[in-house]
Amino acid sequence: MDASLLELRKFLAPEIVFGAGAAGLAGRYAQNLGARKVLLVSDPGVSSQPWFADIVESVRKVGLGLDFFTQIHANPRDEEVMHGAELYRSMACDAIIAVGGGSPMDCAKGIGIVCTNDCHVLDFEGVDNVEHPGPPLICVPTTAGSSADVSQFAIINDTTRKVKIAIVSKAMVPDVALVDPLLTTTMPRELTANTGVDALTHAIEAYVSNAHGPTTDLFALDAIRRIARFLPLAITRPNDAEARAGMMLGSMYAGLAFSNAILGAVHAMAHSLGGLMDLPHGQCNAMLLDHVIEYNFDAAPLRYTDIAVAMGARLSPTATMEEKRSAVLSQVRALKAAVGITEGLASLGVRPEHLDGLTTFAMHDPCMVTNPKTPTAGQIRAVFEHAL
């Protein structure tokens, strides 16, 4: 008998509506949750898309009041969360709809808990530090990558310390995720690539996490299969609805996996990069992923072999451990190359003199706790160096 099947595990997920037209249900769900006035949180890029007006109309159609907060950077900042909370209170809102990628959704989560707990958003840093859940929150994701719409994470940029903090709590799980694959057809190629490899990283890190379980394994492996198949298609045929739906489903499954199994060193290091240097999160993950796999492999060789096979590797029953290591690295690097991610961290301006600070922040990130191998600071610095 597999003893791991007897280990206690919990699994958190919001109500999910998946499919073409899901975004147009935002107003109806806000009404169902008892809202009278909604704060719609987004960003300038998303709010300029042609389909955004349909989401706004869905709220107005059911007679709800509506205010907007769209002044959000790619890495949501603590001051933006506090500004959004001030607007929420001053306009007497009682529910939030977040439309966008990870940044608007994480900012919306922060706004909600600031308002219900009357604290600064940075006070919630860490695991299970949110006493009272936020107001009703509906998320409409517009990228196939962050999965903030189904996760118990919010990542906020502490602008004073120049570090991204993780807020991890079941109170951060949205009430409803309206997952509409058609919204992603307007994503540019680079964003499709970076968020797609971010989703792959979520699935891989969840599968090898030391907190994985049977349910998260199921979602993680299926996510890996879907992303390996559909991400190159979404890049080459951006208007292909099937490819976009396959990626959106893969991203959602990866989110359900990592929200419950947590992550690992790739995300700990990417959060450090994003906080210190304000770099794009998905791009950082993409550049780090294979280097962290190379470091981690001997701590979870069978699991990384499963990942290689899920991505399409053909391994003989007599394959050596080195052949299995090579297989997973080859699959990940081939996918990165296929979607145009070929450069290292140096191309983003990361220099050797940055590595000590980056390492310090990464070692203190909560995601490092569930990495399959417990690293030293010197080992993490070496991984950063290899990724340059």
Tens digit of each residue's pLDDT (9 = 90 or more) over 182-208: 999 999 999 999 999 999 999 999 999
Question: CA nearest 157: which of 81, 97, 45?
Answer: 81
Full-model pTM: 0.96
Confidence of residue 3 (pLDDT cuts 50, 70, 90): low
Q: Where are the domains of the chain?
A: 15-184, 188-387
Tell me which architecture the domain covering 188-387 has in CATH. Up-down Bundle (1.20)
Tokens of 113: 């808990």
Q: How would you write 91-148 as a 3-class SS string?
A: CCCCEEEEEECHHHHHHHHHHHHHHHHCCCHHHHCEECCCCCCCCCEEEEECCCCCCC
Q: Mean pLDDT of all residues in the chain?
A: 95
Instruction: Give the torsion through C-alpha atoms of 105, 109, 114, 115, to 10 deg.
Output: 90
Per the model's pLDDT, the better-predicted residue between 163 and 133 turns out to be: 133
Whose structure tokens read 């796999």?
A: 293
* 114-131 residue pLDDT tens: 999 999 999 999 999 999
- The answer to whether 83 touches 71, Cβ cutoff 8 Å, is yes
As a CATH number, domain 15-184 is: 3.40.50.1970
Tokens of 262: 């947590």
Would you state the pLDDT for residue 2?
A: 62
Question: CA nearest 146: which of 104, 112, 113?
Answer: 104
Domains 15-184 and 188-387 share a fold: no
| Mean local confidence (pLDDT), 335-360 | 95
The widest CA-to-CA distance across the chain, in whole angstroms, is: 66
Would you state the pLDDT for residue 363?
A: 96
Query: Which SS3 state, helix, strand or coil, does residue 263 take?
Result: coil
In DSSP terms, 157 is beta-bridged to 77, 164
Question: CA nearest 12: which of 263, 260, 366?
Answer: 260
Confidence of residue 368 (pLDDT cuts 50, 70, 90): very high
